[in-house]
């Protein structure tokens, strides 16, 4: 690692009702990958938005390349070589790769855009990153992983010296993550400074040189990655020890009634002849590799996607589910893995989101009973320990873990007895994960029944009473938790079923 290229000193930032940053210190050196970690709401993204001009700091100092700076917008930051690659990709799908990379900075020949020159320059960027992408391809035709690579190339095109990666691996496959790490190592070798925000502890140990931890808007400390353990980092993040012991036996009585029975469900290539049962008070884990068909199975059960054949029984009664409305009437709630797209309306308040699935019960004639709506929303904020100044807070201003709690509140408000949790802790930190786990266990103890789809093996082993494993659209096995190991799950998840 070289000298310090960027230093943030005593950065302070407040929003109405929230002290987001409380005199935070942070530095990054040339030629290092520096992790920035903390629970959701700790202030990581806010700090980086202050750095890159998205937010204006209330006080504090930013020293960049030996000079005090303050960027007033992302364009100023980019022009000076400080670039952020956001978790949610900011690409225009119908344009080509090269057009996306140079959007707003197009090369021109006279008054016409010079696509040939842009393609040439894009190829040079990809060559520098050792990436094989055709600059003339339409962006929407690329995988999420390839789109991520284009975002990195776009960052490099600004002659970047500091690149901030905000949850870069959240939507990537294992192979794509490996490709991402190769690029990051190459950039480090070229003496760029990398800030890496992630909740994935295993990644932090693999790719970073130092770790800075934040908690509740404050700087906690900085560790050298190779000299610390996962427990050291977790303890700094949450201020307490979190135990992730696997479940050793099912908590469901042998005579627990079957609340959901799925028989011979078929819905395209990814859902082929799926049958299983879910018992009252049970957490049934669905495991498998990416593309195994778990989400597609859940969406077919919930009526979000059409099914070709198969029967569904709720509490012993045959039900016809052709739409999510039918599923909700049958007492089934679905927490999508993409909560911002399918779970919540981020530009509405907590109270508005909470009653959304049960709005008919909150009407006074043609008007919504706002008082009643706020009362029930407050009840769920209290019971789920949602961190918010009030139920009038816009959901977009909540952390990922607290947004997830709003989705859960929506289905509890509707009083759904069967809940499908699709990747319930994706994109949320270890402390918020622990809260979601406690909540799921509490719901199960109260008699709710949960299908939990998860790509995290530790999550499956910690939470499930039984485990269903899928591979390439088919169910390849079912395991009691006391008989379940990572090896058994992986064997079933990679089974040759042809």
Rounded CA-CA distance 348/334 in Å is 20
Q: What tens digit of pLDDT does each residue of 105-143 get?
A: 888 888 888 889 999 999 988 888 777 889 999 988 887
Q: What tens digit of pLDDT does each residue of 153-195 get?
A: 888 888 889 999 887 776 666 777 888 888 899 889 999 999 9
pLDDT of residue 498: 44
pLDDT of residue 418: 96
**pLDDT classification of 243: cutoffs 50, 70, 90:** low
CATH fold of 4-238: Rossmann fold (3.40.50)
- Is pLDDT of 10 > 80? yes
pLDDT of residue 48: 93
Give the CATH number of domain 258-493.
Answer: 3.40.50.300
Report which of residues 145 and 481 the model is more confident about. 481
Listed in order, the ranges of the chain carrying CATH 3.40.50.300 are: 4-238, 258-493
pLDDT of residue 51: 95
The average confidence (pLDDT) of the chain is 88
pLDDT of residue 409: 87
């Amino acid at each position: 690692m070289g000298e310090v290229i960027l230093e943030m000193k005593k950065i302070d930032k407040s929003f109405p009702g929230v002290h987001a940053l409380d005199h935070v210190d942070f530095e990054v050196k040339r030629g290092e990958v520096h992790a920035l970690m903390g629970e959701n709401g700790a202030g990581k993204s806010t700090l980086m938005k202050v750095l890159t001009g998205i937010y204006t700091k209330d006080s504090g100092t930013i020293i960049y390349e030996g000079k005090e700076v303050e960027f007033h917008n992302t364009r100023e930051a980019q022009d000076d070589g400080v670039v952020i690659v956001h978790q949610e990709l900011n690409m225009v799908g119908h344009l080509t790769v090269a057009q996306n990379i140079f959007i707003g900075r197009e090369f021109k020949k006279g008054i016409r855009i010079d696509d040939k020159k842009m393609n040439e320059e894009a190829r040079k960027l990809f060559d520098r990153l050792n990436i094989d992408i055709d600059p003339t391809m339409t962006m929407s035709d690329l995988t999420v992983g390839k789109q991520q690579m284009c975002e990195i190339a776009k960052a490099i095109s600004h002659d970047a010296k500091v690149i901030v990666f905000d949850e870069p691996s959240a939507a990537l496959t294992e192979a794509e993550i490996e490709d991402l790490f190769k690029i990051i190592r190459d950039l480090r070798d070229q003496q760029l400074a990398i800030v890496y925000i992630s909740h994935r502890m295993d990644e932090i140990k693999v790719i970073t040189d130092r770790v800075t931890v934040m908690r509740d808007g404050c700087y906690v400390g900085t560790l050298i990655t190779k000299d610390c353990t996962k427990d050291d980092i977790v303890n700094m993040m949450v201020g307490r020890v979190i135990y992730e012991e696997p479940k050793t036996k099912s908590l469901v009585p042998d005579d627990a009634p079957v609340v959901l029975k799925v028989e011979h469900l078929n819905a395209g290539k990814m859902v082929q002849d799926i049958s299983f049962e879910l018992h009252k008070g049970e957490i049934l884990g669905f495991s498998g590799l990416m593309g195994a068909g778990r989400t597609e199975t859940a969406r077919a059960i919930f009526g979000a996607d059409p099914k070709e054949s198969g029967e569904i029984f709720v509490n012993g009664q045959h039900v016809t589910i052709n739409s999510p409305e039918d599923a909700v009437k049958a007492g089934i709630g679905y927490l999508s893995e993409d909560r911002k797209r399918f779970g919540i309306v981020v530009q509405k308040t907590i109270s508005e989101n909470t009653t959304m699935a049960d709005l008919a019960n909150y009407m006074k004639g043609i008007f919504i009973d706002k008082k009643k709506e706020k009362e029930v929303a407050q009840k769920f904020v209290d019971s789920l320990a949602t961190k918010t100044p009030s139920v009038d807070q816009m959901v977009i201003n909540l952390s990922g873990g607290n947004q997830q709690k709003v989705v859960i509140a929506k289905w509890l408000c509707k009083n759904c007895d069967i809940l499908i949790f699709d990747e319930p802790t994706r994109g949320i930190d270890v402390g918020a994960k622990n809260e979601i786990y406690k909540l799921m266990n509490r719901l199960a103890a109260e008699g709710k029944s949960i299908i939990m789809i998860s790509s995290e093996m530790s999550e499956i082993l910690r939470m499930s009473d039984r485990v269903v494993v899928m591979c390439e659209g088919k169910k390849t096995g079912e395991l009691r938790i006391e008989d379940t190991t990572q090896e058994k799950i992986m064997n079933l998840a990679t089974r040759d079923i042809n």
